Structures are given as C-alpha cells and as structure tokens.
Chain A
Amino acid sequence: MSWKRWLFGRRELTLALACVAVAVFFQFLSPYFLTADNLITILRNSVELLLVSLGITFVLATAGIDIAVGGALGICAIFVGWSVQGGWPLVVVVLIGPLVGTGLGLVSAFLIVQGKIPPIIATLGLFGVYRAAIFLLLGGSWISGLPDTLGPAVNTIIAGIPLTAIYILFFYFIGWVVIRWVPLGIAIRAIGGNERAARLSGVSIGRTKFFVYGFTGLLVGCAAFLYVARYRNVETSTGGLIALDAIVASVLGGTSVLGGKANLLGAMFGVLLVRVLQNGFVLIGVPSLWEQVITGGLLIGVLILDALAERSHAQGRPRNRGNAPQWLATP
C-alpha cells in the first residue's frame, strides 16, 4: 500500500491532519487559538452538532436522509425547557428530551417504512410541521432566563476532560459497536448498498429503518437537552438548519449520500473541522460570513477529490457494477 493510499484512503486521518494544519495556521495568526480555554470552547460548541451528525451518518448509510432533525431538536428543547421551568423531577428533565426525540424519529420511520414515502420528502414535510409546531407550542414567546439547574451537566470538567467530551465518546462508541460488530450494522450498510438485494438476503428493512431513525431521534433529544442546559434559552429558531450542517460534516467525513458507507470517526472530525474554522475566523478577525464560503468550497473540493481517487483506483480491476458494495456482491 503506497503512502498516498494510506494517507488519503482513510478519510478520518486526512481530516485530522486538516484540523491540525488549520490549527497551526490559526495559531500563527492569533496567540489565543491553542489555549485550553479556547479548545474546550470549540468542543462545547460542537456537542449538539456532533450528536446530530452521528445520527445523520447512520441515516445516510441506509441511503436515507433526515431533514427534520432541526425541527425535532426545537420541539425536544421546548419540552426540556418546560420541565426545567416547571421544576419537574430531575429524572423527567433528563429523560424527556431523548424520549420525545425518539418518538419523533419513529414518526419519520413510520412515514418512510409504512407510508413508503421517500425519506427526503417525508422528513421535509415533517420539518415544516415541526417548525410550525414550535411556533404554536411557544405561542410566540421564548422560554428564556431559565435557572442554571442543568449547568453542571455541561460545564463539569473531570480530571481535565470535559463531561461533554465523555458524552460524545460514549455515543460514538455505541455507534461504532453497532455499525462494526452487530448484525444490525451490516443490515444498515446492506440497505444503503442495495435495498432489494438486502431484502432478498433476508434483512428486515422495516425494523432496521425504525432503529436508524429512532436512534437519530434519541441523539437529537440528547442534543436538545444539552442545548437547553447550555443556553438556558429556547427561541423559535432553535435547531434551525442543523440538518444541513450535519450532512456537510458527515459527507466531509467520508460517508456517502448514496448509502452503503458510514465513517463515524470521519463525521466527528468533519464537525470539528467546521467548528475550528468558524472559531478561527473570528479569532483572526475575519467576518464570519467567509466561513460559509470556505465550508461550502471544502465540501465540493473533497467530493471532487473523491471522484478522482475513485476513478484512478478503479483502473485495472473489475468495476463494481450497480450500487452493491463488494462484500455483499461476492458471497
């Protein structure tokens, strides 16, 4: 294996190196970039997006998509906000976000599996419904000035490691186990590779999809909990277009929108790269608008490089016909 394959064949490694390169660049221009405080800030600002991107990576692996996550995050945040405001028992406060999130995820799955609606249409519709529901639930006034009861859940640092980092590692570990070591993970990638072939080889399509969207909902609910804990505020725009950011991060991380591939570590570094860029631009005094240009350009650049690499890679060996991944096509 040549060094080029080794370096560029593993997306997570390429992205990690990109993060380091960008970090060196910013440190060169601003002495405040590589400080413990700032790095923790970047991590904390990434938490919600990291969770949602993990879910989106799963969804993309089944060749699906979930646009509704932003709206679902907003709705979960409202419930968490109410529970904090009303001084409900701590168990309820912690569980209500993930529960509502899982429920909303299952609604998406129901429309996609039972309703046979393409995921992009089903979740686009739901996104609109959720956005409207947010306005109705809040009645036009924000939940703001919440007490700091949940502060410790996001601000605690144990032995130099922020608690939020531990949540992230925990969920990504679970995700990794599922996708690598459990039959369910093979089912997920098989569906994304070729749904008909997967069905014929005995994969339960419905059950797998219910898991994928439900799991994404659960992660969205957790993200909503952390959002409220951190900002102590639920505004009507909560969640916003986080779905798009998550798709960008996943695809940067080497997960294909065509399905069949999932790169969790890549998604993680994808999020971090986006957040490092956002943070660094402010630190070196560049208007934040430019960061969107860079992320957009980066995404397109990476996909072009991918296509080129694929082409040179494919020369000299039989083409993988159709969309089916190699490991599925050869029994």
Chain B
Amino acid sequence: MRRKNRWSACLSTGLILFTAGIGLAQTKPKVAFVPQIVGIPYFNAMEEGGKDAAEKFGVQFVYTGPTDTNPAEQLRIVNGLIDQGVAAVSLSVLDASSIDPVMKKAKEKGVKIFTSDSDAPKSDREVYVAQALDQDLGYTIIDELAKRIGEQGTIGIVSGEATATNLNTWIGFMQQRVKEKYPKITLLPPQFAGGTAQRAFQLATDLMTAHPDLKGLIAVASTTCPGVAQAIESAGKIGKVVGTGYGSPNTVRTYLKSGAFGFSVLWNPRDLGYLTVWAGKQLIDGKPFAESNSVPGLDQPVKYDSATKVLLLGPPTVFTKENVDQYKF
C-alpha cells in the first residue's frame, strides 16, 4: 500500500513537471507565415529565414500553406491558425479581394495579422513586409531587358495565376515603364500559365510562333521560369530572344548559363522570411516601427513608410551569369 503511494506520488510529480514544461514551452509566442504554395524553392528559402529569426528572437515559427495556388484553401489555413491561437499570422496574399473577413476575425480574436511578399493594400492589415518596392521590381526588369535588346522590339509576358496580386502589380509597373520611357518597345498582353511548367512552355512557344520578331520573354511567376527558359532553348532562339523573370538563382542557374535567360531579378527570400518573423515579434510586443530599423542579422537597415504601412527589405538584385554562383537559394 505504502509502496503504491510512493509510486503514485512520483507519477503525479512527473506529470506536474511535464505539464509545467509544456506550459513553459507554450509561453513562446507563435508567429505563423502562410505562403502562396508550399514546396517551391522560393518559399522554402523564406521558411529557412523565418526559422533562423524565430530562434534569434525567441518565438515559435509556424510555416504552413496550400499545395496549389488556391486562394480559398489559403484562407482556410489562415482561419485555422487563428483558431489555434497563434499570436501573429502573416500571409503572402493570393487573392486580395476575398481577404477582409479573415482580417476581421483576426482582429476580433486579438491576433496580429499582416501581409508579407504579396500585399492586400486596401485591407486592414497591420503592416506589409515588402521584398522590394513593386515599382522597383517592375521598372528594373524592363530597364535591364531594354538595355539588352537595344530599346526596341516586342516583349511577351508569361505570368502565373491570374488572381495573384503581386504578379499583376509588377506587370502593371512594367507596362507603365514601357509607356513612359521606351516608345519603340511593344509589350504584349500577359498570358497566364497557372502553376505548371508545361503550360508556361506551351504559352512561351506559342508567343514565339505568333511573333517571329519577339525580342524578350518575361516569366513573372517563379513557377513559370523553367518553362519559359526551356521553350527558348527548344525553339533554338537563344541569342534571339532574351528570357528573364523573377526566379531564384537555384531555379534559373542552368538557364543563365545556357544563355536562354539573360538575367533574373529577385531579392533574397531568406532575408524576407527573416524580416517577416522579426516584424511579427515587434507587433506582438507592441513596439512601433521606426522610419529606419536596424534588424539584428540583416546587413542593411530596413525602411518603414508609416503612410502606407510598408516595411521594405531593400532594392532588388539582378542576377546574371557572372554573379549567380555567389547565391545559394
């Protein structure tokens, strides 16, 4: 009898310690990030940066998202995270027009909700963690392309999902730049390939057939980069058509080297993921953003625009055959 008591005492002490342990672990606030699609190199790099930041700033990082670029599925996941009681949730918006209800729900439950990578500018988000100004991204790709094709000729655009806010905004700035600065360049209306390389390949090939004098092809979504580059290689148009896009060095490395891609424009998604988690931590702690913030672990100071509530990572990087091997993402 006595022995039994001792055992149960041990057991209950253990149990208490165990629950206390869980309790302690749970005091680490959770910061979640929901990408547009999981399982692609770009968002994997963001995840990696997020993990690093979580370790550094003492939060728990939750990374989960849809397996295809489906806006309804993304919102379902965000809803689930809010119900699970995360302290802050960020997402790369797939469809800005359907996001208001989930924003409202987050506010009601006291969860900090903000956007990162792709914005919903008209929504009630706390902050938008921007990789680079959309305007810079759109302008840079046109300027670099114009330099390489002699500022004249026809350029085609192959985008991803027709509802993706970020892609459409960049296309808008490309069109604006061409209109203002390059009267001799014709920018064709964008074609949408969804998420597959096969369809991007098909569209790129068809665009080259329809316009034998095509000078450039822009792959707007990172998922469309391999298809477009492959199409230029297969059509034997290397040197005649300059391919480019917003592709990470790992995705476009072989194409930069084969010459199918002249260059690629992007930022470091690892740093973007890092900044996203830092921003989440600031929001949870209730600390306001300064006009210029020095974030431990990032080289450059991060600018904040209080009028538009945008936190800006920095200017975009241009990757070429010469510098691509310096980057490993």
Contacts and interface: CB of A to CB of B under 8 A. Distances in A.
A131 to B, nearest CB: 6
> DSSP majority for the B interface?
helix
A273 B195 CA distance: 23
Given A140-B38, A240-B195, A231 B201 contact: yes
Nearest to A283: B210
A237 B39 CA distance: 9
Contacts of A285: 188-189, 210
A30 B212 CA distance: 12
A32 B189 contact: no
A287 B189 contact: yes
B320 interface: no
B254 interface: yes
B195 to A, nearest CB: 4
A183 interface: no
Contact of A145 (B189, B192, B203, B254): B254
B19 interface: no
Given A238-B197, A240-B195, A289-B162, A140 B44 contact: yes
Contact of A289 (B40, B192, B201, B234): B192
Contacts of B255: 145
Given A135-B38, A233-B197, A287-B192, A142 B226 contact: yes
A278 to B, nearest CB: 7
Contacts of B190: 287
A161 B237 CA distance: 23
B134 to A, nearest CB: 22
Please provide the 8 A-B residue pairs with the shortest distance between their CB atoms, ordered closest to farther: A145-B254, A282-B206, A236-B39, A283-B210, A233-B226, A237-B195, A135-B39, A140-B44
24 contacts: A35-B209, A38-B209, A41-B206, A45-B205, A135-B38, A140-B38, A140-B41, A142-B251, A145-B254, A227-B198, A231-B226, A235-B197, A235-B226, A237-B197, A237-B223, A238-B197, A240-B196, A278-B206, A279-B206, A282-B206, A285-B188, A285-B210, A288-B193, A289-B192
Interface of A: 30, 32, 35, 37-38, 41, 45, 48, 131-132, 134-135, 138, 140-142, 144-145, 155, 227, 230-233, 235-238, 240, 278-279, 282-285, 287-289
